[in-house]
């Protein structure tokens, strides 16, 4: 058994740590590239959302590199994410790949339990008692690594905007991620994390108060820089500090329904979006709207809304955000993302968006 | 009383039943404006599928001539989910009303329909009658939905020669504006048309169950209808060809298309199958060209 998993922000560090610590062989898919996207595009169609194309590309590249067992996070209705595994399996089968599939249920219900039982029946035979005994510790290591990675992501997203040289932030961030990824014990993880934080904090600052932007939108698009074309980094280089609520650990805590605080926050956000959406449209739609309203109330300078082209829930959110922006007097920039060759367009739009935010902050009004 | 329902929603069997039932309780003048390109600038002109944009435009255009605009929030019909756009449709219409014609702000009725059984359909109707006419009605007075004769039981295994099966969302199959005149073109070329509307949904649902496993059921009603119909037309009663009509950017069809193409490739006997993606084209030459080439294939077999 050689497992593989898709790229989703820093999730690979979590999955890799679990596999390594539990002694399970794995193949990390090559970093998501133009080839990954082109593979996904070639085997799907124009209206399939970008995350599915990227994940499919990740899996094909991993299977080509020797993986034989795909581990995929599941989800439920009403958005298409709940049917990614069904669709990807059809494509892989048609292409003649031999593989096993393990879905990590997004929602823990009886059907998910039955599916997990069926999928793991054969896989369990290939695991030794030692692998299984190491599993709780492996999850602990993976979790700590992911939390540190996310902490670095947060720090870098604000530091870029104020650093004299944002490039130094990128370098320190990359070094920190590599060190955390390479750490083998909880002690080593904490040491690597603290050192990376110290390096980031030591970078010289311009002293200019940065603009503050909230990033909202579809989960995968918000979290994966190869899909959103490094929107956080691009904004950071333009002197904008970015914040977001969507991190892999947040979604694990939401999915497990154990963290009452997060569930309460979600309910409050649903209420916040109520003047615009009287019903939960699905996925992050209502939350994109609610977080924009909250950002306006919390004094943010603007909101960037990212979603894959053809995403059903977020298309509705984009429509509503046009009104939210004018009613709550907050600039909103929406990006429907698909092909990768739109980086320069994003830079141009960001430049104009930054100008608008600056003008608003300085009280300049257009006639 | 004048009630408006966007014409694009009317091909849904639930909507036809609702209209029929409401008419039994009050004299109603129904309005369903034909789909057309409105000149008003809507907020919903982004990357949604064109039937959705069309529904919003039709809704807004209906407002001056009606007392109530009825756009139920269709969450679930026949135990299966509708796509997320149907959940948001009333909200997007309301937003456009507030933006374009706020004087009609109170006219929208967006009753939520989340039904798995006919009892739940009845409850929606009872609530609606109360909201619209301030009347209380009993479930006993409600006429059940008309059941289509179980044609699956038919011993016929083929259709008359020159019959084409059309797959797709009901509003695409029945609205000539949305389907780019495909049905009209097929008829003018001497072909008969059959659609999933001729088959009871529960039979289609049962056929669609073949591809389900545990939590991975295809949860959209329209997907199940299309998938079930594909199984029906390829295994039970075979037409000369199958055309799958898709509105550009439809998220549901984007995945279903992959599944149907895969199933078609595995068929022991080939039935010509064409996927036709349409958008808000003003001309129909591109569909006519594809259709002619496709029919040449069928005539050549």
- Same domain, yes or no, for B219 and B135? no
The pLDDT score that the predictor gives to residue B35 is: 65
Local structure of A219: helix, strand or coil: helix
Region B135-151: what's the mean pLDDT? Answer: 68
Inform me whether the C-beta atom of residue A112 falls under 8 Å from chain B C-beta atoms: yes
- Same domain, yes or no, for B221 and B268? yes
Nearest by CB to B249, from A47, A83, A285: name it. A47
The pLDDT score that the predictor gives to residue B231 is: 96
**Looking at the domain assignment, is residue B83 inside a domain?**
yes
The pLDDT score that the predictor gives to residue B244 is: 98
Q: Do B83 and A319 touch (CB under 8 A)?
A: no
Q: CA A361: distance to chain centroid?
A: 30
Q: Do B43 and A319 touch (CB under 8 A)?
A: yes
B window 244-273, beta carbon within 8 A of A: 246, 248-255, 257-259, 262, 265
The pLDDT score that the predictor gives to residue A257 is: 73
Inform me whether the C-beta atom of residue A336 falls under 8 Å from chain B C-beta atoms: yes
pLDDT at B151 over 60: no
Nearest residue of B to residue A92, measured between CA atoms: B262
For the beta sheet containing A240-243, the strands, ordered from the edge strand earlier in sequence to the opposite edge, are A240-243, A211-217, A302-308, A332-337
Region A66-92: what's the mean pLDDT? Answer: 90
pLDDT at B150 over 60: no
- Same domain, yes or no, for B114 and B170? no
Q: Which of B106, B141, B176 is the last residue of a domain?
A: B141
Query: Which residues are CB-neighbours of B296 under 8 A, at least 6 positions away?
Result: none
Q: Do A312 and B84 touch (CB under 8 A)?
A: yes
Q: B260-296 pLDDT, tens per residue?
A: 999 999 999 889 999 999 888 777 888 899 999 999 9
The pLDDT score that the predictor gives to residue A45 is: 95
Q: Where are the alpha helices (DSSP H) in chain A?
A: 11-22, 34-42, 50-64, 84-94, 110-125, 129-162, 166-182, 186-202, 219-223, 231-237, 248-256, 260-272, 285-297, 312-327, 343-361
Q: Which of B141, B164, B180 is the last residue of a domain?
A: B141
The 8-class DSSP code of residue B232 comes to I
**Looking at the domain assignment, is residue B129 inside a domain?**
yes
The pLDDT score that the predictor gives to residue A9 is: 86
Inform me whether the C-beta atom of residue A121 falls under 8 Å from chain B C-beta atoms: no
A283 against B164, higher pLDDT: B164
Query: How many domains are there within chain B?
Result: 2
Inform me whether the C-beta atom of residue B39 falls under 8 Å from chain A C-beta atoms: no
Local structure of A304: helix, strand or coil: strand
Q: Do B214 and A114 touch (CB under 8 A)?
A: yes
B57: distance to nearest CA of chain A, Å? 14
The pLDDT score that the predictor gives to residue A73 is: 81
Nearest by CB to B250, from A47, A87, A278: name it. A47
- Please provide the average confidence, as pLDDT, over all residues in chain A: 92
Query: Which residues are CB-neighbours of A343 under 8 A, at least 6 positions away?
Result: A229
**Looking at the domain assignment, is residue B257 inside a domain?**
yes
Contacts of B259 in chain A (CB under 8 A): 86-87, 90
Q: Do A78 and B91 touch (CB under 8 A)?
A: no
**Looking at the domain assignment, is residue B254 inside a domain?**
yes
Is the omega angle on the peptide bond into residue A78 within 30 degrees of 0, that is, cis? Answer: yes
Nearest by CB to A312, from B43, B85, B265: name it. B85
Nearest by CB to A319, from B92, B110, B257: name it. B92
Q: Do B215 and A49 touch (CB under 8 A)?
A: no
Q: Do A44 and B254 touch (CB under 8 A)?
A: yes
Q: Which of B92, B118, B141 is the last residue of a domain?
A: B141
- Give CA–CA dist A313/B252, Å, rounded: 12
For residue A351, what pLDDT band results from cuts at 50, 70 and 90? Answer: very high
Query: Could you count the other beta carbons within 10 Å of the beta carbon of residue A260?
Result: 8
The pLDDT score that the predictor gives to residue B225 is: 97
**Looking at the domain assignment, is residue B146 inside a domain?**
no
Percent pLDDT > 90 in chain A is 75
pLDDT at B153 over 60: no
A3-4 and A69-73: which strand pairing? parallel
The pLDDT score that the predictor gives to residue B34 is: 73
Nearest by CB to B215, from A115, A276, A281: name it. A115
CATH code at B19?
A: 3.40.50
Contacts of B250 in chain A (CB under 8 A): 47
- Same domain, yes or no, for B164 and B188? yes
For residue A367, what pLDDT band results from cuts at 50, 70 and 90? Answer: low
Q: B33-76 pLDDT, tens per residue?
A: 876 666 677 776 778 899 999 999 999 999 999 999 999 999 99
- Give CA–CA dist B45/B82, Å, rounded: 21
Whole-Å CA distances, B263 to A10, B210, B266, B291: 36, 12, 5, 22
- Same domain, yes or no, for B167 and B269? yes
Whole-Å CA distances, A288 to A197, A252, A318, B39: 30, 19, 9, 30
The pLDDT score that the predictor gives to residue A256 is: 72
The ipTM value here is 0.92
B178: distance to nearest CA of chain A, Å? 18
Inform me whether the C-beta atom of residue A313 falls under 8 Å from chain B C-beta atoms: yes
Local structure of A257: helix, strand or coil: coil
pLDDT at B179 over 80: yes
Write out the residue range of the structural domain in which residue B11 sits: 2-141
- Same domain, yes or no, for B159 and B210? yes
Q: A243-268 pLDDT, tens per residue?
A: 998 888 888 887 777 788 888 998 99
Inform me whether the C-beta atom of residue B55 falls under 8 Å from chain A C-beta atoms: no
Which of A312, A314, A332, A337 best tests the B interface by mutation, with the highest count of B CBs <10 A?
A312
Given a contact cutoff of 8 angstroms between Cβ atoms, the answer to whether A302 and A357 are in contact is yes
The pLDDT score that the predictor gives to residue A231 is: 95
Q: B71-113 pLDDT, tens per residue?
A: 999 999 999 999 999 999 999 999 999 999 999 999 999 999 9
**Among the listed ranges A89-103, B5-19, B131-145, B220-234, which one has the minimum average pLDDT value?**
B131-145
For residue B145, what pLDDT band results from cuts at 50, 70 and 90? Answer: low
- Same domain, yes or no, for B158 and B224? yes
- Same domain, yes or no, for B126 and B162? no
Tokens of B102: 């706020």
- Same domain, yes or no, for B281 and B235? yes
**Looking at the domain assignment, is residue B62 inside a domain?**
yes
- Same domain, yes or no, for B113 and B182? no
pLDDT at A272 over 80: yes
- Give CA–CA dist B212/B80, Å, rounded: 13
The pLDDT score that the predictor gives to residue A253 is: 81
Put residue B162 in one of left, alpha, beta given phi > 0 → left and psi -120 to 50 → alpha. Answer: left
Nearest residue of B to residue A313, measured between CA atoms: B84
Region A41-57: what's the mean pLDDT? Answer: 95
pLDDT at A340 over 70: no
B244: distance to nearest CA of chain A, Å? 14
Given a contact cutoff of 8 angstroms between Cβ atoms, the answer to whether A320 and B91 are in contact is yes
Q: Do B216 and A85 touch (CB under 8 A)?
A: yes
Nearest residue of A to residue B73, measured between CA atoms: A279
- Same domain, yes or no, for B289 and B179? yes
Tokens of A264: 């309460």
- Same domain, yes or no, for B106 and B157? no
- Please provide the average confidence, as pLDDT, over all residues in chain B: 89
């Amino acid at each position: 058994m050689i497992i593989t998993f898709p790229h989703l922000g820093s999730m690979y560090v979590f999955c890799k740590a679990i596999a390594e610590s539990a002694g399970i062989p794995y193949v990390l898919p090559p970093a998501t590239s133009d080839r990954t996207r082109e593979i996904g595009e070639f085997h799907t169609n124009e209206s399939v959302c970008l995350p599915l194309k990227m994940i499919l590309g990740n899996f094909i590249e991993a299977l080509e590199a020797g993986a034989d067992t795909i581990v995929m996070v599941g989800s439920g209705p009403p958005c298409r994410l709940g049917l990614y595994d069904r669709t990807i399996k059809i494509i892989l089968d048609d292409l003649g790949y031999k593989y096993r599939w393990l879905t990590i249920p997004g929602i823990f219900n009886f059907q998910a339990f039955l599916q997990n039982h069926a999928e793991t029946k054969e896989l369990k035979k290939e695991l030794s008692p030692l692998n299984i005994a190491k599993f709780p510790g492996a999850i602990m290591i993976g979790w700590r690594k992911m939390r540190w990675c996310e902490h670095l992501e947060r720090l870098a997203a604000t530091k870029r905007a104020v650093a004299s040289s944002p490039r130094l932030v990128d370098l320190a961030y990359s070094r920190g991620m590599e060190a955390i990824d390479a750490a083998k014990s909880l002690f080593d993880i904490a040491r690597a994390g603290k050192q990376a934080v110290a390096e980031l904090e030591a970078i010289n600052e311009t002293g200019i108060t940065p603009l503050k932007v909230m990033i909202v939108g579809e989960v995968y698009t918000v979290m994966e820089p190869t899909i959103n074309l490094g929107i956080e980094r691009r904004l950071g280089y333009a002197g904008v500090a970015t914040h977001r609520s969507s991190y892999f650990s947040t979604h694990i805590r939401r999915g497990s329904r154990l963290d009452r605080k997060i569930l309460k926050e979600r309910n409050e956000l649903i209420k916040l979006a109520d003047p615009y959406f009287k019903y939960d449209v699905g996925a992050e739609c209502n939350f994109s709207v609610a977080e924009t309203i909250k950002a306006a109330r919390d004094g943010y300078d603007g909101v960037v809304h990212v979603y894959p082209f053809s995403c059903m829930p977020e298309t509705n959110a984009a429509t509503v955000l046009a009104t939210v922006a004018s009613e709550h007097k907050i600039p909103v920039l929406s990006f429907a993302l698909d092909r990768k060759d739109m980086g320069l367009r994003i830079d141009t739009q960001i430049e104009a968006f930054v100008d608008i935010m600056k003008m608003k902050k300085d009280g300049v009004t257009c006639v | 009383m004048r009630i408006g329902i966007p014409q694009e929603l009317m091909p849904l069997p639930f909507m036809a039943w609702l209209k029929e039932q409401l008419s039994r309780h009050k004299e109603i003048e129904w309005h369903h404006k034909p789909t057309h390109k409105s000149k008003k600038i809507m907020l919903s002109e982004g990357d949604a599928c064109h039937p959705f944009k069309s529904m919003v435009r039709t809704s807004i255009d209906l407002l001056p001539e009606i007392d109530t605009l009825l756009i139920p929030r269709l969450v679930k019909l026949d135990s299966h989910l509708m796509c997320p756009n149907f959940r948001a449709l009333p909200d997007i219409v309301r937003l456009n009303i507030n933006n374009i014609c706020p004087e009609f702000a109170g006219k929208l009725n967006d009753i939520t329909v989340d039904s798995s059984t006919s009892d739940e359909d009845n409850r929606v109707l009872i609530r609606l009658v109360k909201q619209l006419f301030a009347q209380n009605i009993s479930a006993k007075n409600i006429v059940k939905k008309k059941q289509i004769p179980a044609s699956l039981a038919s011993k016929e295994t083929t259709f008359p020669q020159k019959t084409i099966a059309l797959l797709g969302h009901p509003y695409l199959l029945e609205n000539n504006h949305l389907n780019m005149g495909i049905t009209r073109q097929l008829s003018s070329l001497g072909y008969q048309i059959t659609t999933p509307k001729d088959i009871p949904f529960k039979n289609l649902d049962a056929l669609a169950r073949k591809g389900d496993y545990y939590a991975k059921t295809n949860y959209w009603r329209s997907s199940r209808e299309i998938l079930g119909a594909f199984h029906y037309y390829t295994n039970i009663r075979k037409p000369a060809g199958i055309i799958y009509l898709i509105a550009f950017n439809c998220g549901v069809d984007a995945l279903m298309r992959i599944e149907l193409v895969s199933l078609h490739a595995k068929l022991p006997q080939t039935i010509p199958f064409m996927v036709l993606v349409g958008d808000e084209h003003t001309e129909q030459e591109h569909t006519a060209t594809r259709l002619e080439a496709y029919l040449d294939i069928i005539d050549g077999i």
